[in-house]
Amino acid sequence: MALTIQPTGATLGATITDVDLAALDDATWIEIKDAFNEYALLIFPAQALSARAQLAFAKRFGEIEILNENMPTIALTNKGEDGALLDDDSFRMKLLAGNEGWHTDSSYMPLSAKASVLSAHVVPSSGGHTEWADPRAAYDALDQAMQDRLRDLTAYHSYFYSQAKLGHEVAVGEGYGFFEGEPPLRPLVKVHPETARPALYIGRHAGQIPGMDDDAAEKLLSELMSFTCQPPRTFMHNWAPGDIAVWDNRCVLHRARPYDHREERVMMHTRIKGDPATESALNA
């Protein structure tokens, strides 16, 4: 069975059909891996994978990054353990609110993520989409002088910083604020380890830039974010239960879109570790 790859029409992303991810042979995997490097975001409608099959698919991309409670796959959901919907001022909902800001996964960790796999299980009747943006195309669209300037800059990525901007004070050891000390320092232009394509490496966790005062850094970073996160460099997916997506955190930004929290939303997320040779912080 041959894959069908339909580019989204934005500068990133493709929808792939005519494949069963639960029964992936090596030849088909190579086609998916090539499409992943080209499109950076792949959406597979109506796969309805079991937790085990999602994990096996994620492992094709590399080693799993364990997020919490030693679980390889975590639920992103507004439903609590007791089955009731969570309050907006609960700790978990504040973590989820952060996902509505443009970000790339684990940039605030000493080792940033390679990729993320996300599947839809319960979706609200409206809203709750996921949107992705293409910092490769954004870099390409900048003029040479700006590209040269940005290539010499680095930025600190801090979970404490990004949540504090939302009014959410995170303590060391809480949420994803795992460590004390200097936050990870990362280049502002990341060269993709497999394709060698440069991309802006930004997002809500990035705040300070060494050698620049904080206001100037925030202004530059927010201008780069607005420039990146607009058409034709964005793509939004309206989830149906059973859909699964994978994106490349080394060169893609993403965010969750709002929805009515009186409705349930359940997404399952599996994260793939970065390569220590290319995804380690400069100060790690």
- Would you tell me which residues interact with ligand OGA (CB under 6 A)? 76, 99, 105, 116, 118, 130, 254, 256, 267, 269
Residue 121 site contact among ligand OGA, Mn ion, none (CB < 5 to 8 Å, cut-off depends on kind): none
Q: Smallest distance from the beta carbon of 64 to ligand OGA, in angstroms?
A: 14
What is the Cα–Cα distance from 241 to 78, expressed in whole angstroms? 16
- Give yes or no for residue 248 binding Mn ion (CB under 5 A): no
Task: Supply the minimum distance, in Å, between the C-beta of residue 97 and ligand OGA.
Answer: 11
245 binds, among ligand OGA, Mn ion, none (CB under 5 to 8 A by kind): none
Residue 118 interacting entry, from ligand OGA, Mn ion, none, C-beta within 5 to 8 Å by type: ligand OGA
Would you give the DSSP letter of residue 73?
E
* Partner that binds at residue 200, options Mn ion, ligand OGA, none, CB closer than 5 to 8 Å by kind: none
Residues 6+ positions from 133 with CB-CB distance below 8 Å:
12, 102, 228, 229, 233, 234, 252, 253, 254
Q: Which residue is nearest to ligand OGA (CB)?
A: 256
Segment 90-149, which members bind Mn ion (CB under 5 A)? 105
d(CA 149, CA 40): 25
Query: Cα–Cα distance between 247 and 115 in angstroms, integer?
Result: 5
Beta strand residue intervals within 205-282, DSSP E: 234-237, 244-248, 253-256, 266-273
Binding site for Mn ion (CB under 5 A): 105
